[in-house]
Amino acid sequence: MRICLIGAGGVGAAFCAIAARRDFFDEVVVADYDLERARRAVADLDERFTAAQVDASESEAVATLARDHGSTHVMNAVDPRFVMAIFTGAYAAGADYLDMAMSLSRPHPEHPYSQTGVKLGDEQFAKAAQWEEAGRLALVGMGVEPGLSDVFARYAADHLFTEIDELGTRDGANLTVDGYDFAPSFSIWTTIEECLNPPVIWQDGAWTTTEPFSEPEVFDFPEGIGPVECVNVEHEEVLLMPRWVQARRVTFKYGLGEEFIDVLKTLHKLGLDRTDAVSVRGAQVSPRDVVAACLPDPATLGSAMHGKTCAGLWVTGTGTDGAPRSTYLFHVVDNNWSMREYGHQCVVWQTAVNPVVALELLARGTWSGRGVLGPEAFDAVPFLDLLTEYGSPWGQREQ
């Protein structure tokens, strides 16, 4: 296996640190628009890792890079505005493809809070037949959320439940960052996109939408994190899980906190969440890019962070014994552990470990497939076993 990794930011650099301890691949070429950042990501790794420069917005540039290195797999580790360029470039290069976030949505032009417009991943699923006919695999949404949460859905359907009422992804943390009043632990560009778009809900065989930050609930997270208020947020799980797992309802709720929600609402009121460029003293700039540039790089915050992050799936329905069941499947990462073991903060590490595990399963032939597939399309047990082998076990709690 020869991997072309596009993106050497926090998640991309953590991907490299995790993969360096495994032997299932021959090469990882780490490419970024900023060549120096790519070089930093591979600086302390072995000879299998090399750095390159690429413009991820140009599909032909991605294709040329992958062809030049004989890449068998293109791994997308940049924010979702570049998904289609990298997805298209991988196909043109004859490589398989993985990502951790899917093609962007566009709200319904007239009824954004009741009807879907272009949904997350629609542009990719429109190409599914093309990938399948070519005998090629695009494994989409293979981070932590989406990704591991979707693996949990497959596991619950196959081993814990006979009927599922709700698949409810619940994400929360108790992280603090020394020296900052406001410092997101993940890409603010992506966070704004997710949190201010109309959230999608799967209900009784159809997708519908609601208003941002709707249906607040307090969820008690495990391993000392405790109760966190969670709200509806647009996320890929809701668009992926119903395609392979039967459930009456599918939701995604994120533990943002009141302060974070207030900041996001303010950015929206001021128009600072916009992605289209505005003229500032003759220069064309995207307001959202300015916001991102003003905040600290999440990848650099690890030494100042404290606490744990939890990704998980709350499943309710009928258990295999015929009785009602409510189970939370979860994965917790302590920032002190991830910094000590890998030198990367817990949120980016937790995101990055899952595509590494998936690539190893593909290299072994344990997972295989054609077309555009989500993690739910594969057997969950080998994935969960290998994740534990990586030193980061998952957990299960009856609710």
User: Tens of pLDDT along 135-167?
Assistant: 999 999 999 999 999 999 999 999 999 999 999
Q: Is the pLDDT of residue 179 over 90?
A: no
Domains of the chain and CATH, by start:
2-139 (3.40.50.720), 148-349+393-398 (3.30.360.10)
Taking the C-alpha atoms of residue 77 and residue 90, their distance in angstroms, rounded to an integer, is: 13
Give Cα 134 distance to the centre of its chain: 26
Taking the C-alpha atoms of residue 25 and residue 49, their distance in angstroms, rounded to an integer, is: 10
Give Cα 395 distance to the centre of its chain: 20
When mean pLDDT is compared across 251-265, 291-305, 345-359, 363-377, the lowest value belongs to: 291-305
Closest CA to 216 of 235, 229, 200: 229
Taking the C-alpha atoms of residue 32 and residue 19, their distance in angstroms, rounded to an integer, is: 18
Mean pLDDT of 311-325: 98
180 pLDDT tier (thresholds 50, 70, 90): confident
Taking the C-alpha atoms of residue 240 and residue 237, their distance in angstroms, rounded to an integer, is: 5
Which helix (H) or strand (E) segment holds residue 332: the answer is: strand 324-334
Give the per-residue pLDDT at 166.
98
Mean pLDDT of 238-249: 98
Taking the C-alpha atoms of residue 356 and residue 20, their distance in angstroms, rounded to an integer, is: 10
Give the per-residue pLDDT at 189.
80
| Whole-number percent of the chain with pLDDT over 90 | 84
Q: Is the pLDDT of residue 57 over 80?
A: yes
Give the per-residue pLDDT at 54.
98
When mean pLDDT is compared across 91-105, 230-244, 293-307, the lowest value belongs to: 293-307
Instruction: Quote the mean pLDDT of the chain.
Output: 95
pTM of the model: 0.94
User: Which residues does 95 contact at the CB level (< 8 Å), separation at least 6?
Assistant: 4, 66, 71, 72, 73, 74, 136
Closest CA to 349 of 396, 384, 298: 298
Alpha helices in the chain (DSSP H): 10-19, 35-42, 59-68, 83-93, 122-125, 128-133, 148-155, 188-196, 236-244, 258-270, 287-294, 335-342, 346-364, 380-389
188 pLDDT tier (thresholds 50, 70, 90): confident
- The token pair that represents 307 in the structure block: 């606490």
Closest CA to 103 of 372, 380, 378, 375: 372
Exposure class string for 233-268: b at 16+ Cβ within 10 A, else e = bbbbbbbbbbebbebbbbbbbbbbeeeebebbeebe
Residue count (the chain): 399
Q: Is the pLDDT of residue 299 over 80?
A: no
User: Tens of pLDDT along 342-393?
Assistant: 999 999 999 999 999 999 999 999 999 999 999 999 999 999 999 999 999 9
Q: Is the pLDDT of residue 245 over 90?
A: yes
Give the per-residue pLDDT at 14.
97
Q: Is the pLDDT of residue 265 over 90?
A: no
Closest CA to 343 of 333, 332, 335, 351: 335
Give the per-residue pLDDT at 161.
98
- The token pair that represents 192 in the structure block: 């704004």
Q: Which amino acid is at 292?
A: A
Cross-strand partners of 280 = 283
Q: Which amino acid is at 89?
A: G
Q: What are phi and psi of 248, to 5 degrees?
A: -70, -35
Mean pLDDT of 41-49: 97
| Residue-wise DSSP of 149-189 | HHHHHHHIIIIIEEEEEEEEEEEEE--EETT-SS--SS-HH
